[in-house]
Amino acid sequence: MYTYDLIAIGSGPAGRRAAIQAAKLEKKVLVVEQGRRVGGVSVHTGTIPSKTLRETALNLTGWRERGFYGRSYRVKQEISADDLRRRLLITLDHEVEVLEHQFARNRVQQVRGRATFIDANMLEIAKSDGETLRVTAASVLLAVGTRPYRPAHIPFDGRYVIDSDELLEMKEVPRSLVVVGAGVIGIEYATIFSALDTQVTVVEPRETMLDFIDKEIVEDFAYQLRDRNMKLIFGQTVETVERDAQAGKCRVTLKSGRILQAEMVLFAAGRVGATDTLNLAAAGLEADSRGRLKVDPETFQTAVPHIYAAGDVIGFPSLASTSMEQGRIAARHAVGVPASEPPQFFPYGIYAVPEISTCGLTEEEVIQRSIPYETGIAHFRETSRGHIMGLDTGLLKMIFSLKTRRLLGVHIVGEGATELVHIGQAVLNLKGTVEYFVENTFNYPTLAEAYKIAGLDAWNRMGEGPKEAPVATSQPLDKTPGLTPAETEAAPEARKAANI
């Protein structure tokens, strides 16, 4: 009846994972990608480029060795934009090659072009070669991702006043930079350029940043940024941005009247769903003011049951890792195959300098739910590996239930945080207790030893538990570890909807 069993619009993490999953289930699949190459935002302007840029900056500046050799230590004295881009291009070529091979071996069909709905089951594709193609599908997955929010009053010029996509095409590394927006993207790029010895100022209209991260971790993070002379301006909004070509500076005027000057301005205050060209109305759908789509958090179905959406286009958490899982679950559901529920606890990684990663409940959420708890803290400088690496910063924090002794949350800021968090994630989802960290052996010397130090820190105040581990209840794994069913139901609606 239909040309395809599933059409995925977009080849980013959600689209490609959905397509491959459906193809492995022997379904006929088409991926529509309007970009020149497969991979979507994740490969070309988002996840992979920003993390590659970060790694390149840390390597060329000798950032990780400065604990021993001083702040003036550099591997390369003069670092150009071409130096940063060279590694990026190699990485992107490799990523695209891997994706093309995955599609080929799984017999996923591809077409380059822009898709629009004719009706709920029919799409018209304006191909890159000028040809127009009409196809039908039993199910459609919208995985179109997002693009930077570009308000009309900001004079973007692609060189001096730029968004996060344009930053990857910069001609030179600026000596000074104003970053508008202290969200994940803004903070990642701000700290990367700070590591390159660019003078960075961050402007954020809210009074705080990264509100979904444990407050103690954010405070430690902010202290580290200010300690290296980054300026963090909270509670102020940008009134105007102007370019003074004669002075070679950008002039940023805040509503308070304060004026900031820098060689470059990066506007990173949010993103919008790339849904405006899809003709959603023809399919019976409507996006919100930021171009995002509302879905069932378990099946990822939109208001039209056979049309699914996954990835950044559905909003928080907007991670490549969660997008992949959303795409896989949506594809299985779309082709009528049983699918597991989305994981309630997954790691959130912020690839700033230093890294932040978190999984589970924050201390603020534990207090909000009136759960008796204890925390354990370990500083990386307390580990032998930390001394070997020359680390004088870095913090690992764990939160335990006093009632069940189970781990409720793990929060890390510092070198390797996005790798280390997976130990805590496993213990959290397997309902492990503080005794796991106290009684088990960790490789020595490693940064992972911080888990034992933090576990002992909590255990010393909690006191010795029962001789035998608490008997596992019949409560499903997707319920909050250490909480009663009533406490679980008290979870804030926003977090429940986001499945974290």
Between the alpha carbon of residue 449 and those of residues 121, 272, 361, 378, 439, the distances in Å are 54, 41, 22, 9, 12
Of 373, 372, 396, 374, nearest to 447 by C-alpha is 396
User: CA–CA separation, 56 vs 464, rounded Å?
Assistant: 46
pLDDT exceeds cutoff 80 at 343: no
Residue pair 376/459 in contact by the 8 Å Cβ criterion = yes
pLDDT-based confidence at residue 468 (cuts at 50, 70, 90) = low
Closest CA to 472 of 436, 432, 440: 432
pLDDT in tens, 271-298: 999 999 999 999 999 999 999 999 999 9
Token couple for 477: 């794994």
Q: What is the pLDDT of residues 96-145, one digit of tens each?
A: 999 999 999 999 999 999 999 999 999 999 998 889 999 999 999 999 99
Q: 499 to each of 140, 283, 404, how far by Cα in Å? A: 23, 27, 23
The pLDDT confidence band at residue 160, using thresholds 50, 70 and 90, is very high
pTM: 0.88
Burial of 254 (0-12, 13-18, 19+ CB in 10 A): middle
Helix (H, G, I), strand (E, B) or coil at 416: coil
Structure confidence by residue, pLDDT tens digits, 191-218: 999 999 999 999 999 999 999 999 999 9
Distance CA 122, CA 180 (A): 41
Dihedral sign for Cα atoms in the order 323, 324, 329, 333: positive
Would you tell me the crossing angle of helices 320-334 and 13-24 to the nearest 10 degrees? 40
Smallest Cα–Cα separation from 200: which of 171, 174, 169? Answer: 174
